Amino acid sequence: MKIMFMGTPEISATCLRTLIAEGENVIAVVTGVDKPRGRGNVMTPTPTKSLALEHGIPVYTPKTLRDGEFDKVLKEIDPELIVVVAYGKILPESVINYPKYGCINVHVSLLPKYRGAAPMQRAIMEGEKATGVTIMHMDVGLDTGDIISQVEFPIFDDDTFETIHDESAEIGSDLLVRTIRDIEAGTAVRIKQDDSLACYAAKIEKEDARVDFTLPAHVLSCRIRGTTPIPGAFCFKDGKMLKLFKPSVTRGSGKPGEVIDIDPKGEGSFTVACGEGALLIRGVIPEGKGRMTAGDYIRGRKISKGDILE
């Protein structure tokens, strides 16, 4: 089966890497344009583009899919199946309807829950106990297509966006291979989504990462973990931004935002009172600094019992 692969970030590269390793016939890759990155603003290809070039796969980086030019590319390549993994652009009907076997999308949630841009982050932030990967046939709606296959896995209390991302990438890439083979064999199913169960996973905005200590500790723990490592949950201490990592819910009371206990030993921790309960924090990024343990932050006399975080 001739496969065109469309994807951009690291999770896309993981899926592409698995397809190549499993001997699938990826004849072209479509990805985002090179962007300036790092302190030197060096033009850098996407992870998916870099991997494709390593394996000699033709790469296309259209700025738009809607001007008709990409339709010419489709006819030239003539894929039988298009696989989409976090490509970053909405596909027009002309692309969705072109391949013999259609377009399939690897979506990192248990559809119909968490349709949209940030399903992994939102699942953690909302306190879900499980998430998963769904592979669906694409249609013109936002993650509304028929489900072909789905795998569920748990979200543990110490999981973050980073850990769920990595697990989703590994599970999703394996599921993708199995699904492609089912499609080719004619054994793949199509299950319509129950729209009444749907919810939307909006893009993460800066204010989503702002820590409001008047909220319950268990709510804040989920929000901090859901934005770790990026964009990073933040509050302010003495007017300067302080990003918080490695939270856990604990007992304690005080004014919301008040540091009610510190432990400078080893990795260390400090405890902050919340609207209900308290949060134990073991990692921070002070404004203008790199990531450090709470112990180093305390030993540097940057935080003390009785301080207020806002």
**Residue 216 neighbours by CB under 8 Å, 6+ apart:** 274, 275, 276, 277
pLDDT of residue 42: 85
pLDDT of residue 36: 86
Mean pLDDT of 243-262: 97
- Chain-wide mean pLDDT for the chain? 96
pLDDT digits 0-9 by tens, 111-167: 999 999 999 999 999 999 999 999 999 999 999 999 999 999 999 999 999 999 999
Pick from 230, 244, 239: nearest CA to 297: 244
**In contact, 273 and 215? CB cutoff 8 Å:** no
Mean pLDDT of 69-83: 95
* The pLDDT of residue 243 is above 90: yes
The domain limits of the chain are: 3-201, 206-299
pLDDT of residue 249: 98
Ranking 45-49, 67-71, 194-198, 207-211 by mean pLDDT, the lowest is 67-71
Identical fold, 3-201 and 206-299 = no
What is the number of alpha carbons within 13 Å of residue 286 lying toward its C-beta?
14
What's the DSSP call for residue 227?
T
**Residue 22 neighbours by CB under 8 Å, 6+ apart:** 177
Architecture of domain 206-299: Roll (3.10)
* The pLDDT of residue 234 is above 80: yes
* The pLDDT of residue 68 is above 90: no
* The pLDDT of residue 246 is above 80: yes
**Residue 229 neighbours by CB under 8 Å, 6+ apart:** 160, 161, 162, 245
Ranking 38-42, 135-139, 156-160, 199-203 by mean pLDDT, the lowest is 38-42
* The pLDDT of residue 38 is above 90: no
Q: How far apart are CA 292 and CA 305, in angstroms?
A: 19
Class of domain 3-201: alpha beta
Degrees, nearest 5: CA angle 135-137-142: 90
**In contact, 106 and 84? CB cutoff 8 Å:** yes
pLDDT of residue 23: 97
Single pTM value for the model: 0.94
pLDDT digits 0-9 by tens, 276-288: 999 999 999 999 9
Tokens of 271: 């405890």
Containing 133, the helix (H) or strand (E) segment is strand 130-137
